[in-house]
Amino acid sequence: MDPRLMIGPQGPQLTGIRPAKSGSATGSLPGAATFGDLFQKAVTEPQQFRISAHAQKRLTERNIDMNPALENSLNRAFSELETKGARDSLVITREGAFVVNVPSRTLVTAMGIDEMRNGMVTNIDSVSMKYG
């Protein structure tokens, strides 16, 4: 019988097979991060969003520069929309309008401000305006 299936202290005595001892509670691999380290990193560092291939193509076509200020605005929008339970949202900034999928933290598509004046956006559940 496989010793992993045995429950209780009697298992090793009956089979003569002793399970391998695991490392200490802090991790047996040198340099391995503990759960606490990973949790703290996840809480303190803002998660980055990913840009879909379609969105990257639109950013290039429409000459929208993904600069640090725009990235920061979109990251803040993702965080705020996430706390509100949004799924598919429109984020409007000075640089353009962006359709985002909040649960996957993905930039789906991008539009210039001029396109938004005569455009329509469907299948969204919320709008976030970031002008700062």
Domain segments of the chain as ranges: 50-130
Higher pLDDT, 16 or 88: 88
Q: Are strands 88-93 and 106-111 parallel, antiparallel or unpaired?
A: unpaired
CA distance 78 to 69: 14
Q: What are 55's two structure tokens?
A: 């969105």
> Mind listing the pLDDT tens digit for each residue in 93-132?
999 999 999 999 999 999 998 888 888 889 999 999 988 6
Is pLDDT of 8 > 90? no
> Mind listing the pLDDT tens digit for each residue in 11-67?
566 656 666 665 555 445 666 778 887 777 666 655 689 999 999 999 999 999 999
Look at residue 13 in the predicted model and tell me its pLDDT: 62
Contact (CB, 8 A) for 109 and 54: yes
